[in-house]
Amino acid sequence: MRRSILTLSFAAFTLLVSAQERTVKVVDTPQMKAKAAERTELVHRTVNLTEAQRTQVLDAYLEVERYADALRQRFEGQPPEVVQGDMVGQYKVMDEMVEKRLNAVLSEEQLKLWREASK
């Protein structure tokens, strides 16, 4: 009995240590770039971005795509209910990331147009 408990404890410890050592490496994929470009185009069609704004908005959406990819890697192998439970808060974080960047990039008038269109 003692041997079984020690074996289980060792297995749990090993699993914990290996999970903590997992590194996340995010590389921009064509899919990530396409999704960011698509979202940037939506903002552009709505508020008519300048080229400088377009670059900054694209960067904002790429940042969100990178964050989402890091989350996917972090949650790899986790039970679906754990992932779903954590993702509610993570979606809010990603929305706030975009909102913060758009507030810094868009003019007052553009922000007003974007918020009305996003309702």
d(CA 28, CA 69): 9
The verdict on residue 70 lying in a domain is: yes
The verdict on residue 104 lying in a domain is: yes
Residue 18 has pLDDT above 60, yes or no: no
The verdict on residue 6 lying in a domain is: no
The verdict on residue 11 lying in a domain is: no
Number of structural domains, the chain? 1
The verdict on residue 18 lying in a domain is: no
Each residue's pLDDT tens digit, 70-101:
988 888 888 888 888 888 889 999 999 999 99
The verdict on residue 1 lying in a domain is: no
- Higher model confidence: residue 42 or residue 6? 42
Backbone phi, then psi, for 27, in 5-degree steps? -125, 130
Domain span holding position 109: 26-118
